[in-house]
A and B are shown apart, each in its own frame.
Chain A
Amino acid sequence: MLEVNNINTFYGRIQALWDVCLKIEEGEIAALIGANGAGKSTLLNTISGVIHPTSGSITFLGQRIDGLPPHSIVELGISHIPEGRKLFTDMSVRENLEMGAYSSRVWKQKQETLEQVYQLFPVLKERAKQLARTLSGGEQQMVAMGRGLMSRPKLCIIDEPSNGLAPKLVTEVFEKIKSLREQGITILLIEQNVRHTLEIADHACVLENGRIALEGDCDELLKSDHIRKAYLGL
């Protein structure tokens, strides 16, 4: 579904990604793990067009998307739920969600989609009128995810959804992610919570210092020594 080939990305003169390759199959949960600063968010930003790679290619459903601006990439069906929630803090929950459906492809159906999102996160319906800024961390994360789903994505990219959440919410968030896959949405997930992630994902890549260090099916990776030592502390 998504194919990333030999991507190199720079911040100014500093190279953040080196020849990164990544393949995601339709309908799976792919995970991306790696230490802080490994370049995970950079890779996601490169995919969603926030930054452009200096070389390499990205294809989505057979179409080249590297070099397209973010808004065109959203139109194609990729939704990026950024690190740190990034809500429109002075807009209501409902308006935030509606913004998720901004792309012209789905704007007309936003009412229907909204109902679906409310089903997934019932608490958001109760809070529809509240300003995003005043929500608790967990609720904000739900708004962020709901907003990402409003564009009816084929591929949903989620960056560290459990960061800073209370343990109870972390469990809930992972449950929601699983249920998304059941609805047929392909997912690319970044998490520091490696065990939990590998448990729900099908396929994972390990990014170290901007390079892919390891990749494979999650069951195998869970057995790998490197993973167990570096990321699970066993």
Chain B
Amino acid sequence: MHILEGEGVTKYFGGLAAVSNVDFYVEQGEVVGLIGPNGAGKTTLFNLISAALVPKPGIIKYKGKNITRKKPHQICRIGIARTFQTVKIFANMPVLQNVLAGSFFGTSPGMSSTDATREALESLEFVGLSDLAATPAGDLTLANQKRLEVARALATRPELLLLDELMAGLNHTEIAESMELVKRIRDRGVTVVMIEHVMKAIMNVCDRIIVLHHGQKIAEGTPQEIATSKTVIEVYLGEQTNAGS
């Protein structure tokens, strides 16, 4: 079943078509990679899905229902969570409270505070931040801040998770840990769409990859198909594909 579907999704900024007539779908339970050169429109597409921006024209459907007109918090409440390319944590709040906000207001807003706390602690445990629960979020390292964003998103109990450059700026070890994390998220039954420039991660984790360029979808397929696609190599990967290592 298609958990998420887009038809003719388009977004202009002034005269610039950041996303232009893109059709896409995401299957329940899969991990989809979204790649493309800088400025290709990947983040913009995430913004459209999560209703930070409204497509014009175009339709986005979640579980068959049109969600184009919804507000960001409604999108979250129906089960789509996201992280951000530049981390947007609540820097002056302790780590636990960051996540607690997610569990309080996510897909089950009526939750009691004990349940919400349990949920939050569990999310922290899942990403491995339990020890830092009382630290102000702003004091975390970048890698941990990114994990915190994932924990906060997971605490909303999503069915679909959008990860925007989770691995940018992380070193090798941290990238490996993050890949592991994505796999574990998938194993919980959460569908994942991830934007990433780190090819190793994309190739290893994703079931399917969508490539954007100048706002248009230029390729789509399995990692092998993408890695060998002439167009993708030309516009994105370059001759040496070891870049992400």
Q: Which residues on A are within 8 Å of B, measured CB to CB?
A: 35-37, 134-139, 160, 163-172, 192-196, 230-233
Residue of A nearest to B241 (CB): A167
For the complex of A and B, 5 pairs with smallest distance between CB atoms: A137-B38, A136-B39, A168-B238, A37-B141, A167-B243
**CB of B170 closer than 8 Å to a CB of A:** yes
Q: By DSSP majority rule, is chain B's interface helix, strand, loop, or mixed?
A: loop
**CB of B240 closer than 8 Å to a CB of A:** yes
Stretch among B88-96, B150-158, B171-179, B183-191 lining the A interface = B171-179
Known A36-B141, A168-B236; contact A192-B39, beta-carbon cutoff 8 A = no
Interface-centre pick from B16, B243, B244 (highest chain A CB count, 10 A): B243
Q: Which chain B residues in 29-62 approach chain A with CB under 8 Å?
A: 36-39
Interface-centre pick from B16, B172, B236, B240 (highest chain A CB count, 10 A): B172
**CB of B235 closer than 8 Å to a CB of A:** yes
**CB of B245 closer than 8 Å to a CB of A:** yes
Known: A36-B174, A37-B143, A164-B165. 20 other contacts (CB 8 A): A35-B141, A35-B171, A36-B143, A36-B169, A134-B16, A136-B39, A137-B39, A138-B39, A163-B168, A163-B169, A164-B169, A166-B38, A167-B237, A167-B238, A168-B37, A168-B235, A169-B238, A170-B197, A170-B238, A230-B173
Chain B contacts of A163 at CB under 8 A? 168-169
Whole-angstrom distance between the alpha carbons of A25 and B199 in the complex? 35
User: Is B171 touching A170 in the complex (CB atoms < 8 A)?
Assistant: no
Whole-angstrom distance between the alpha carbons of A145 and B36 in the complex? 23
Q: Which of B171, B197, B235, B236 contacts A36 (CB 8 A)?
A: B171
Chain A contacts of B172 at CB under 8 A? 192, 194, 230-233
Whole-angstrom distance between the alpha carbons of A167 and B37 in the complex? 8
Q: In the complex, what's the smallest C-beta–C-beta distance from A24 to chain B, in angstroms?
A: 22
Whole-angstrom distance between the alpha carbons of A185 and B174 in the complex? 32
Q: Which chain B residues in 212-242 approach chain A with CB under 8 Å?
A: 235-242
Chain B contacts of A168 at CB under 8 A? 37, 235-238, 243
Chain A contacts of B241 at CB under 8 A? 167
Chain B contacts of A136 at CB under 8 A? 37-39
Q: Which of B16, B169, B199, B242 contacts A192 (CB 8 A)?
A: B169
Residue of B nearest to A38 (CB): B141
Whole-angstrom distance between the alpha carbons of A165 and B165 in the complex? 11
Residue of A nearest to B35 (CB): A166
Q: Which of B36, B38, B141, B143 contacts A165 (CB 8 A)?
A: B38
User: Is A233 touching B173 in the complex (CB atoms < 8 A)?
Assistant: yes
**CB of B134 closer than 8 Å to a CB of A:** no
Q: In the complex, what's the smallest C-beta–C-beta distance from B122 to chain A, in angstroms?
A: 25
Chain A contacts of B173 at CB under 8 A? 35, 230-231, 233
Chain B contacts of A231 at CB under 8 A? 171-173
Q: In the complex, what's the smallest C-beta–C-beta distance from B1 to chain A, in angstroms?
A: 32
User: Is A195 touching B37 in the complex (CB atoms < 8 A)?
Assistant: no
Chain B contacts of A135 at CB under 8 A? 39
